[in-house]
Structure formats: C-alpha cells, structure tokens
Amino acid sequence: MTVPEFMRAKSQGRKLSVLTAYDSLWATILEESGIDAILVGDTLGMVVQGKQTTLPVTLEQIIYHGEIVARCAPKTLVIVDLPFMSYQVSSRQAVRNAGKILKETGAQAVKLEGGINQSKTISRLADCDLSVMAHVGMRPQSVHKLGKMSAIQRDAKALLADAKAAEDSGAFSVVLELVPAEIAQEVTDTLSIPTIGIGAGAGCDGQVLVTPDMFGLSGFQPKFVKKYVDLKKLAVEATKQYMTEVQEGQFPDDAHSHK
C-alpha cells in the first residue's frame, strides 16, 4: 500500500481500515491480516508507557517504535505521529522532525494534529514531498485546553473549515476524532481526500482504532470502541493456568522436556 493507493480508495468507494502498532509482534499480526495502514500513534504514551496523556512522548521514542513497525510491516503503509511539541514551534521545526522520522524509521508518512492552525506547516511538509495526514476534531495533544480527552466536537462549521484547510494545504488524508456521525458524513462528502474516523460514525472513508483497545488489552472501553476479543481475559487465564501447572508439577511434562 502506498500513499497514492490509500488516497485512490476513496474514489473507488473502498473503505480503509487502519490500526495502531508500536512493536514487532503487532506490526507482524497487522501486516499478515492485510490491514490498509498502520499508525504508530503517540497513544504509545498511554498504551505502552502507561501514562495519562500522549504529551510526554518524545521524538526519539516515536522513531524507536516507528522503525520497528516499518521494518516488520514492509508491505503496509506506515504512518508515524509527530509528537507533542515536535512541530508546533514552527514549520521549519516540523519539516526537520518529519524528515528525521521518515529517514530514520522507513515509514511513508507522518501525522500531526491540527487543521487551520497548522495549514502553513502542512503545506511546507507537502512542498518537501513529506506525506502528511492531518487530525481534526478532538485533538488529544490539546487535552489541557479541552479539559478532558473525551470531549465530542460538535461545531460543524469549525470542523469543516479545519478539514478543508488540511486538504487545501496538501494533507493526503485526515483523521476525524470524536465527531458526531452526521458532521463526519458532511466533512467526508465535502473533501476529496479520505477521512479516517475514530468515534466519528460509519460515514467516513475509513476507520482507525487503537489496537490494544479493540483487543481488550488496555481496559479503555468508551462507546466508540468495539472489543473484538478480550485478550486480556484470555492472557490472565493462561497465566493462572501456567502458575497452577508449575506449582503442581504438571508443567513441564515429558513433551516439553529434553531427554
């Protein structure tokens, strides 16, 4: 999957499926499943590092994880988040850090949070042929301004303006987070680049979920997350069974021992 193929899916009416990954185990699982794109999101801070927000994630950390994912999912489009304060200072800073991410990870694209407020930066990145995905609606890096990360964004005019600014500035796609379904549908109908929704209804051109959420590993279960399998429950059960078998001398048995 390439950036142009990802963009073409919209005109072909083919829905795009995107999931996050941060390591080789999940990069391999997602690549084998044939997912359209993998996002190395700055949710890294929450689901891998156990922090409260995405803000502490550093450029060095996202590059470390991005390189692993891009190497282990060579056929999949890999998009890496620009961390908080790695692009907001200036478009020069954004170009330098987006370039560093693409050089050092082997990923094909970056993502940043913003629309109108980042239009100059998006167009500078696009001028340098750095493929950039925008992220509008609820922007987790703005958590302290919003007061909480669950704030649904209902201002249709502002959302349309942000998404349109991202498209006009050269973004190849835009994430819509926590947007009422009717507004996300309207934005999707207005734009010619694919919209990728999270908590934004079925009208978007594609969907993204945080992988540990949909596998029941993170314990994060808001309305928009569908838990497809409860891997945490299965893993706790397997761990307990292992402990019992070790205690009772059932593991290792002959089949799992060298003679």
> Which residues make up each annotated binding site for 3-methyl-2-oxobutanoate?
42-43, 81, 111
Q: Are 76 and 102 in contact (CB under 8 A)?
A: no
What residue ranges in the chain does DSSP mark as E strands? 16-20, 37-40, 77-81, 109-113, 131-137, 173-177, 195-198, 206-209
At residue 67, φ and ψ (nearest 5 deg) are -65, -40
**From candidates 31, 36, 42, 162, binder to Na ion by CB under 5 A:** 42
| Tokens 């409260």 found at | 52
- Least spacing, CB of residue 213 vs Na ion, in Å: 13
206 forms part of the interface with Na ion (CB under 5 A): no
Q: With respect to ligand KIV, which residue has the nearer C-beta, 43 or 153?
A: 43
Q: With respect to ligand KIV, which residue has the nearer C-beta, 20 or 91?
A: 20
Partner in contact with 184, chosen from Na ion, ligand KIV, none, beta carbon below 5 to 8 Å by kind? none
Which of 31, 67, 167, 177 is labelled catalytic?
A: 177
Contact positions toward ligand KIV, by CB under 6 A? Answer: 20, 39, 41-43, 81, 135, 175, 198, 208, 210
Strand partners, 80: 40, 110
Pick from 221, 225, 112, 215: nearest CA to 172? 112
Q: Which stretch binds Na ion (CB under 5 A): 7-15, 76-84, 188-196, 205-213?
A: 76-84
Q: With respect to ligand KIV, which residue has the nearer C-beta, 165 or 214?
A: 214
The question of whether 177 is a catalytic residue gets the answer yes
Pick from 83, 98, 100, 78: nearest CA to 26? 78
Catalytic center residues: 177
